[in-house]
């Protein structure tokens, strides 16, 4: 890569708008689209999403679990989806939420940030085996010009007992953000982002992050443009990447309808460009 993920993401936001749109082929959506709950239905679903979203969003985010559920056939569909999107220049974020230690973390990094068929532009990771355990992914991302989004403050209610626990005067979520900020030091903009739920009412201090902020929960889960305006300090807006999945996918399987719904969200969140 001649440019870092952080630079490519900033350019994609300026060109296409700030939205990250998800590809989440769960069985209820396959049914709603009139598709069978099997690998053939999965492939048709993914192909429609690629046609609708390619070149229309800053980032496209396949939810890896929904592809894995179909075994090797599902992984093959995911490989083709990533290949087509990246081949045309659309940034792909693999929502894999991987987190482990040592050689296992290194293997996850090679899978999602390497040059194999599952290699994406960025991957989501969990730091809750210790931020330092992510080092193999951070190192490979840097070497390959890719990005990493680290779970920091998620919106599921179960997360609070862990992420809001206080360690040496800071919440655990804040220590994650601060560690990501340290990794981004000296780069502009950084390629190590954090994940912060768009439906939260209290979030870590992001002012020193110097990296992207993925905001899942927009649309069907209740996150709105007004809520994001209130949640994020204005200096953080250029780094914000709202993620919408179900609310856009609900417009399918019509490609024009999917594009129209995505365009409406791009317009709603245009202040984040």
Beta bridge partners of 195: 151, 214
Cα(75)–Cα(155) distance, rounded to whole angstroms? 28
Annotated active-site residue 61? The verdict is no
Q: What residue spans of the chain are helical by DSSP H?
A: 5-16, 27-32, 39-53, 64-68, 71-87, 102-113, 135-144, 160-163, 172-184, 225-231, 246-249, 255-268
Cα(206)–Cα(216) distance, rounded to whole angstroms? 16
3-class SS of residue 2 = coil
Q: Hey, what are 260's tokens?
A: 């129209």
Q: Hey, what are 239's tokens?
A: 């780094």
Q: In whole angstroms, how far apart are CA 44 and each of 21, 30, 177?
A: 18, 9, 38
The count of C-alpha atoms lying within 13 angstroms of the C-alpha of 59, restricted to the half-sphere facing its C-beta, is 34
Catalytic residue among 80, 86, 97, 246: 97
Active site residues: 97
């Amino acid at each position: 890569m001649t440019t870092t993920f952080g630079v490519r993401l900033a350019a994609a936001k300026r060109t296409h708008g700030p939205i990250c749109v998800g590809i989440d082929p769960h069985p209820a959506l396959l049914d709603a689209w009139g598709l069978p709950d099997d690998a053939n239905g999965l492939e048709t679903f993914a192909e429609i999403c690629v046609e609708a979203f390619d070149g229309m969003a800053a980032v496209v985010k396949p939810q890896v679990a929904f592809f894995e559920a179909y075994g090797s056939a599902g992984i093959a569909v995911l490989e083709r989806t990533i290949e087509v999107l990246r081949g045309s220049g659309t940034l792909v974020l693999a929502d894999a939420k991987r987190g482990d230690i040592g050689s296992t973390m290194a293997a996850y990094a090679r899978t999602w940030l390497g040059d194999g068929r599952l290699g994406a532009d960025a991957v989501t990771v969990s730091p809750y085996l210790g931020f330092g355990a992510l080092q193999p992914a951070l190192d490979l991302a840097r070497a390959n010009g890719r990005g990493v989004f680290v779970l920091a403050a998620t919106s599921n209610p179960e997360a609070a007992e862990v992420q809001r626990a206080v360690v040496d005067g800071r919440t655990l979520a804040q220590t994650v953000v601060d560690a990501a900020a340290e990794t981004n030091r000296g780069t502009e903009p950084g390629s190590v982002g954090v994940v912060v739920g768009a439906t939260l009412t209290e979030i870590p201090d992001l002012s020193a992050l110097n990296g992207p902020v993925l905001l899942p929960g927009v649309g069907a889960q209740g996150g709105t443009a007004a809520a994001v305006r209130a949640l994020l300090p204005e200096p953080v807006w250029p780094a914000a990447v709202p993620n919408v999945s179900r609310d856009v996918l609900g417009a399918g399987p019509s490609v024009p309808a999917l594009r129209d719904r995505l365009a409406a969200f791009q317009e709603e969140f245009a202040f984040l460009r």
